Amino acid sequence: MQPTLALPAATELLPLLPELVLAGAAFALLMLDLFLKEGQRVLTHVLSILVLLLVGGMVVGGVGAGETSVLSGMFLRDTMADVLKVGTCFIAALSLVFFWPYLRERGLYKGEISVLVLFATLGMLLLISAGSLVMVYLGLELLALSSYALVAVDRDSKLASEAAMKYFVLGALASGLLLYGMSLVYGATGSIDIVRIREIAAVTESPMLLLAGVVFMIAGIAFKFGIAPFHMWLPDVYHGAPTPVTLFIGSAPKLAAFAMVVRLLGIAAAPLAEHWQPLLAVLAAVSLLVGNLIALAQTNLKRMLAYSTVSHVGFLFLGFAGGGVAGYSAAMFYALSYALMATASFGAIVLMSRRGFEADRIEDFKGLNARDPWSAGMVLCIMASLAGIPPFLGFWAKLAVLRAAVDGNLLWLAIFGVVMAVIGAFYYLRVIKVMYFDEPVGEALVPREDATLRFIFAVNALALLVLGVFWNPLMAWCQSAFA
């Protein structure tokens, strides 16, 4: 008699197939790296990029997309998860392209770097599909621990070591807040299943313990996003980490954090939305104010982009505060748009820097147009999109979340967002001004001769213009995730 017990288990794991492939590949590449010589480590790097593209292709192709809930509801496979996973894999692969030339010429590249990126991506994919509080925490910690190691990759740099320590200590504090909030939610509902928590929250007569848990979870979420006043780690980490690492942790994890908000607040705590949505609106306003005003005073480009991230997260939270299908769709559109913009902005620094010269000050870009008009044009596209100038992608992203805030009866917040967008445009236009109107000073700023890197950077920058013109399909994709 043929045994049949293994068949249901194998069938149940099919929706997890992209994650299983990524996990298996990460372990395999970690073992392969042990047998490679220093000059052969490009193999590990190229294979890591191909694995990420393969996993993204599997999600696009619908591989394993049968059941919507597996592992007793711990893992959810829905349209939102698939859209975010495709974006995460693409951004992570794009990040690895920028890793190789920067770290190799500084003698920092080790085989485990690409493996850490794979494990961080695996954590993001699990977080995106989390159906229980346990899976949320598992995915979040896998992402966080990998990120800490990446920030500290340059062990001889005091700046990087300090940034890694701050990131680790404050990250542990935020994880503790999130875990404490989850424990209160579990104590109030008796369940760790996100859907079950929603059902119990809808009928509970004394939600005070549950609300306390939600507040602590919001604090943990706010830290992971870097929203003010929980942004204290972000400028130092962005400045101290090697630029490609900053590129990675400043882009793809925002997509996973978006999914965490939807799972924990948009689903589990949805019946209590009237209590936590005003809190998100206040956080959005504070983040817009703090991020834009402090960014105005920055002379270091990486720190300016760090504080602009605080501002952009404030815009993203406009969509969450607005609520509903329109609000979440707009926030998702903003998260995807910002991930592309952040990758391109830090990619510009990687492209211009070389050993002994980081090109991370605004004045380093003086007169770039006179020396390399093409690169100056690409940086112009990036800054214009970040500033929200039409017809670039950033304009439509800002417009979508502002409309969501108005639809959510938050007219005051939408008006405040418009004012902050105007103020924020100044520091982006300042970069454009120094490129086109200031005289070159000091050593010539010459982009790398790496044709592959220049091509990928140009595609990333021009995508902000092309997607700005043809933004409707991307928005429709986001709307389908919540249909």
Q: Which tens digits make up the pLDDT trace of 63-79? A: 776 657 777 788 888 88
CA atoms of 269 and 194, how far apart (whole Å):
9
Q: What are phi and psi of 341, to 5 degrees?
A: -70, -40
Q: Provide the token pair at 162.
A: 């300090």
134 lies in a domain? no
Residue 44 has pLDDT above 90, yes or no: no
Cα–Cα distance, 380 to 378 (Å, whole number): 5
3-state secondary structure (DSSP) of residue 69: strand
For residue 83, give Cα distances in angstroms to 128, 174, 301, 437, 473: 10, 27, 31, 41, 12
Asked if residue 367 belongs to a domain, the reply is: yes
Residue 339 confidence (pLDDT)? 93
Whether cis (ω within 30° of 0) applies to the bond prior to 229 is yes
Strands (E), 55-147: 69-70, 75-76
pLDDT range class, residue 444, cuts 50, 70, 90: low
By mean pLDDT, which of 6-15, 42-51, 396-405 is the weakest? Answer: 6-15
pLDDT band at 1 (very low <50, low <70, confident <90, very high): very low
pLDDT band at 3 (very low <50, low <70, confident <90, very high): very low
Mean pLDDT for 220-230 is 87
Residues whose CB falls within 8 Å of the CB of residue 88, separated by 6 or more in sequence, listed in order: 121, 124, 125, 128, 252, 255, 256
- Is 354 domain-assigned? yes
- Look at residue 334 and tell me whether its pLDDT is greater than 90: yes
264 domain residue, yes or no: no
Structure tokens that stand for 398 in this block: 């800002």
User: Could you please report the per-residue DSSP string of 433-460?
Assistant: HHHHHSPP-SS-------HHHHHHHHHH
Neighbours of 407 (CB within 10 A): 16
Spatial separation of the C-alpha atoms in residues 218 and 239, rounded to whole Å: 26
| Band of pLDDT at residue 11, cut at 50, 70 and 90 | low
Average pLDDT of the segment spanning 368-391:
89
H or E element at residue 26: helix 17-33
Mean pLDDT of the 15-35 span = 89
Cα dist from 380 to 194, 384, 397, whole Å? 43, 6, 18
Average confidence score pLDDT of the chain: 87
State the average pLDDT over residues 324-336: 90
Gap between the terminal Cα atoms of the chain: 46
Rounded-to-integer distance, Cα 262 and Cα 401, Å = 16
CA atoms of 240 and 70, how far apart (whole Å): 40
With contact defined as beta carbons under 8 Å apart, do 365 and 445 qualify?
yes
**CA dihedral sign, ordered 235, 241, 244, 248:** negative
Return the pLDDT at 8: 44
Give backbone dihedrals phi and psi of 108, rounded to 5 degrees, phi first.
-100, -10
Q: What is the band of 324 on the pLDDT scale with cuts at 50, 70, 90?
A: confident
Question: For residue 237, what are the CA distances in angstroms to 22, 122, 162?
Answer: 27, 22, 8
Position 2 confidence tier, pLDDT thresholds 50, 70, 90: very low
The whole-angstrom separation of Cα 255 and Cα 342 is: 12
Residue 125 belongs to some domain of the structure: no
Residues 93 and 52 sit within 8 Å (Cβ to Cβ): yes
What residue type is 408 in one-letter code?
G
Task: Calculate mean pLDDT across residues 458-475.
Answer: 90
CB 298 within 8 A of CB 427: yes
pLDDT over 70 (residue 162): yes
Residue 445 pLDDT more than 70? Answer: no
User: Which domain does 349 fall in, by range?
Assistant: 281-483
- How many domains are there within the chain? 1
Nearest residue to 424 (alpha-carbon basis) of 341, 325, 346, 309: 309
- Cβ neighbours around 206 below 10 Å, total: 8
Given a cut of 80, is residue 355 above it in pLDDT? no
Phi and psi torsions of 130, nearest 5°: -65, 130
Q: What average pLDDT does this structure show over 132-160?
A: 89
Q: HSE-up of 173 (CA within 13 Å, CB side)? A: 12
Q: How many Å apart are CA 103 and CA 96, to the nearest integer?
A: 11
Q: What pLDDT shows up at residue 229?
A: 86
Is pLDDT of 380 > 60? yes
Share of the chain above pLDDT 70, in %: 95
Q: pLDDT (tens digit, 9 = 90+) per residue, 181-212?
A: 999 999 988 889 998 999 998 888 778 889 99
Contact 95, 227 (CB under 8 A): no
How many Cβ atoms sit within 10 Å of the Cβ of residue 3? Answer: 6
- To 5 degrees, how large is the angle CA 299–CA 453–CA 225? 50
Average pLDDT over residues 102-113: 79
Distance CA 463, CA 470 (A): 10
* pLDDT given for residue 4 in this prediction: 45
Domain annotation covers residue 422: yes
pLDDT of residue 6: 42
Pure H helices in 152-272:
158-189, 194-203, 208-225, 234-240, 243-249, 252-261
Predicted TM-score (pTM) of this structure: 0.92
Per-residue pLDDT at 5 = 41
